[in-house]
Amino acid sequence: MMLTNKRGHIIPMVGLGTFPFQGRTMADMILNASSVGYRLFDTADDYRGESGIGMAVSELYTIGLSREDIFLQTKISDNNACENEPLKGMFFNPNSKFMKRHTVENIVREKVENSLREMNTDYLDSLLIHYPFPGYIVDIWRTMIQLKNEGLVRYIGVSNFHEKHMEELIKDTGVYPEINECYTSPIGSKKGLVDYCNLHNCLFMTYSPLMDVAAGRISIERLRPLMIKYNKSLAQIVLRWNLDRGCFPLPKTKNPMRLKENFDIFDFSLTVDEMDLISSLNYDYQYIVESKTCPGL
């Protein structure tokens, strides 16, 4: 599967993570990144940054671009948990008063309308279910299929989903997610899930691809020979490892040097042995809870 933006350009294989930036800071980051070459921007309704992206969208002309040149990805979330119910959200929770008065379709449509308004656009390139919400994913997915058929959303997918969640969607609708955005890293490689996504033509996008680099959790000593051979930083080696296994990484930074560094990974590729060496660092590390509402994920 080739994901394209509205002009039909194939998506650059590196997107920009945008959490937690907002407002003018977000807009400047998007414009700077667009000048470097980034075209895919990842956000979510609960990152509170969509209006900053909208600001950048209305200013893209200043760098010779327009809305159709970029690829905007957002998500359907539910983080409005009550203080005394930290694991349960406000929307996709059978006990919430809100859910008793609304349908899943109403909620999803309202969230998408809001995202469109905030981001100053009349279509989304990609919409994901942020987490598996037990009991609701199939209804959310059905509405997303409709939104795609109506042309409001170009690609539909999921985030933090494992095989069992994806199978649930497919069993009920026959429609595979086109994207699955999850954490993966040399120390948490999720080989089974990546293979499953590749097999089913579902693009695996990697969130937090550099978190373990930034935190010093990846052995620089083991990977130094590759850094020397290719004259690349540890971050660039890890990002390239993503690409060479079919995963599109979404690194976040607003630091101008790092914006360029993280995009400068298209002039080399890793050999099979080098890929194996990096993957051998795996010990199934998971640095954040993938879903607060789907125990045992």
Ligand X SMILES: NC(=O)c1ccc[n+]([C@@H]2O[C@H](COP(=O)([O-])OP(=O)(O)OC[C@H]3O[C@@H](n4cnc5c(N)ncnc54)[C@H](OP(=O)(O)O)[C@@H]3O)[C@@H](O)[C@H]2O)c1
Q: What is the CB neighbour count within 10 angstroms for residue 228?
A: 9
Nearest CB to ligand X, comparing residues 21 and 272: 21
**Nearer to ligand X among residue 106 and residue 256 (C-beta):** 256
Residue 230 designated active-site: no
In angstroms, how far is the first alpha carbon of the chain from the final one? 27
CB 128 within 8 A of CB 158: yes
| Shortest distance, position 216 Cβ to ligand X, whole Å | 10
The active-site residue, picked from 47, 131, 136, 207, is 47
Q: Beta-carbon neighbour count of residue 76 at 10 Å? A: 27
Helix, strand, coil shares, percent, the chain, to 5 = 40, 15, 45
- Residue 251 beta carbon to ligand X: minimum distance, rounded to whole angstroms: 4
Q: Return the DSSP state at 122.
A: S
List the beta bridge partners of residue 76: 129
The count of residues in the chain is 297
Secondary structure element (H or E) that encloses residue 145, with its range: helix 137-149
Judged by CB, which is closer to ligand X: 31, or 214? 214
Rg (CA), the chain: 19
**Are the C-beta atoms of residues 242 and 249 closer than 8 Å to each other?**
yes
**Residue 17 or 89: which CB sits closer to ligand X?**
17
The C-alpha atoms of residue 70 and residue 74 are separated, in whole angstroms, by 13
Residues that bind ligand X (CB under 6 A): 17-19, 42, 159-160, 181, 207-211, 213-214, 235, 250-253, 255, 258, 261-262
Q: Residues 30-53, buried b or exposed e (16+ Cβ, 10 A)?
A: bbbbbeeebbbbbbbbbbbbbebb
Q: Which two tokens stand for residue 111?
A: 């969230």
Whole-angstrom distance, CA of residue 62 vs CA of residue 272: 43
Of 8 and 131, CB closest to ligand X:
131
Question: 């993570």: which residue's tokens?
Answer: 17
- How near is the Cβ of 261 to ligand X at its closest, in Å? 5
Select 76 or 104, whichever has its Cβ closest to ligand X: 76
Annotated catalytic residues are 47
